[in-house]
Amino acid sequence: MSRKYFGTDGIRGKANTEPMTAEIALKVGMAAGQQFTRGDHRHRVVIGKDTRLSGYLLEPALTSGFVSVGMDVVLVGPMPTPAVAMLVRSLRADMGVVISASHNPYEDNGIKLFGPDGYKLSDDVEKQIEARMDAGTGQTRAASDKLGRASRLEDAPGRYIEYVKRTFPEGLRLDGFKIVVDCANGAAYAIAPKVFYELGADVIAIGAEPDGFNINQGCGSTDTARMCEEVVREGAHLGIALDGDADRLVMCDEKGQLIDGDQLLSLIVERWLRQGRIRQGGIVTTVMSNLGFERYIRSLGLDLHRTAVGDRYVVELMRAKGYNVGGEQSGHIILTDYSTTGDGLVAALQALAVLVEQQRPVSETSRVWSPLPQMLRNVRHKGGRLHEHTDVQKAIENARQRLGDAGRILVRPSGTEPLIRVMVEGEDEVLVTALLDDIIHAVERAGRAT
C-alpha cells in the first residue's frame, strides 16, 4: 500500500493547496489523535511550528482536530523540531507535531509527527493514519464533556535551552570564541544565539528577524554565502548555520570555508571514539555521504552503514542495530545519547567541544580527511518517474562503466520537492563533471518528452 499524503519527512506541500490545507490538517489531527488514544488517561499532544506565515493556518486546524477527539493540546509556538521531540518525552505526551517544511521556501509547509517515545513515526503507522483519514473520523469524535483543551507552554524555549546546554561537556566554556550564528529566520531565531551566548561565546546573530516570508531566504544551511562572508568580515572563529526547523547544521571555518555534515560527524566520531562512547563499533549515514568519509571511518576501525536519504531512515537503522551516532552529509546529525532526531544545536556543541579542547584554528581542526570530488545537481520536473526513463537508465549505466570501482552514481527523486537529484562521485574531477552533465541532459530530455 503506497502512501497518499506522507513523504520521506511527514506531509509537505505548498501552503493552502492540497495536501497543505486547513481541511487536511484537521483530518490529520483527528486521525492521529485517534491513533494515539490508548488507555483511560488524559491524552496530550505537543504542537510546535517554525516561522512561516502559513503556520497560522495549520496550527489552529490541527488543534481543532486533536481537541475534537478528546486530546489536550500543548502549544509551544516557534520551536526547533528536536525541541518538540524532547518536550514530548519531558511532558509524557502521547505524541508531538511540528508544522514545518524544514529547508524549503516560505510558501511550502509540512506536518511532522512524533510518537510518545519522541521518534518520528514509522511508515506503517503513517499508513494507518492515512487509512483513518480516508475512512472518515466523524464517528470517533469525543462527547461534549470529553473534548480536549488547548494551552500554551510559555517557558518551552527556556526548557529547551537548558536541555541543549547540558549536552556540552562540563568544565568547558566558549569564552574567547566569536561565532556567527545563522538562524535561517526560522524556528531557532530566539533560541540559538542564547545557547552560545550563555556558554560564553561572543555571538553575532544573523537570519534572526523572521517576518513570515523570509525563512531560508538568502540564509541558513542551504544558502550559506552570507554566513561565510560575515565570518570573514567580523574576524570570527567560525560560523554556524541552521535550517528552518533547526534539525540540520552546517558550519564554516575562520576563512569562510564550509564544513559539511560528513566533516562534522568526523570530528564528533573521533572524540567519542577516544572516550569509548561509540556503540556497536560503527556509525550510520546515507548513500550521499562522501566516499572519502567512508574510507576515513573505516581507517578508525569502525563500520559505516548506509541507508536511503532521509534522517528518519538513519534513525531507524540506528535503533534497530543499537548505534548511537549517525547523520547525513546535508547536516542532519543524530546523537541518540541526547536526542531522538537530528538536532543542529546539540551537534554544534559536540563539534565545538573538539575545537575548544584542541585550541587550534578551525580550518586546521575540522578537516581530517580529503573528500573525493562529488557533484550534485537537481532537475526540476512536472511529474513522472524520469529517473526510470530508458534514456536516463542508459546514461547511468554508461557512466557506471566509465567510473568502474573508483566512484559512485546516485539518481533519485526528491521525497520533499518535484526534483530529480543526480550525484556523481569519483577520483577524477574532470570525468565526474562530464558524467554528471551526460546524466543531467538525459533527465532533461526525458522531462521534455513527457
The overall longest dimension of the chain from CA atoms, in Å, is: 70
> E strands along 62-187, which residues?
72-78, 95-99, 108-114, 150-152, 178-182
Which residues make Cβ contacts (< 8 Å) with residue 399, sequence separation at least 6?
409, 424, 435, 438, 439
Q: Do 315 and 334 meet the contact criterion of CB atoms below 8 Å apart?
A: yes
Indicate the SS3 state at residue 374: strand
Task: Name the grid cell of 178.
Answer: 566569536
The answer to whether 259 touches 269, Cβ cutoff 8 Å, is no
Q: Among the options 54, 68, 102, 221, which is catalytic? A: 102
Distance CA 115, CA 95 (A): 5
Classify 22 as helix, strand or coil: helix
The whole-angstrom separation of Cα 352 and Cα 202 is 14
CB–CB of 206/230 below 8 Å? yes
Helix (H, G, I), strand (E, B) or coil at 158: helix
54 is catalytic: no
User: 365 near 378, Cβ under 8 Å?
Assistant: no
What the block records as the C-alpha cell of 50 is 517554525
Q: Catalytic residue positions?
A: 102
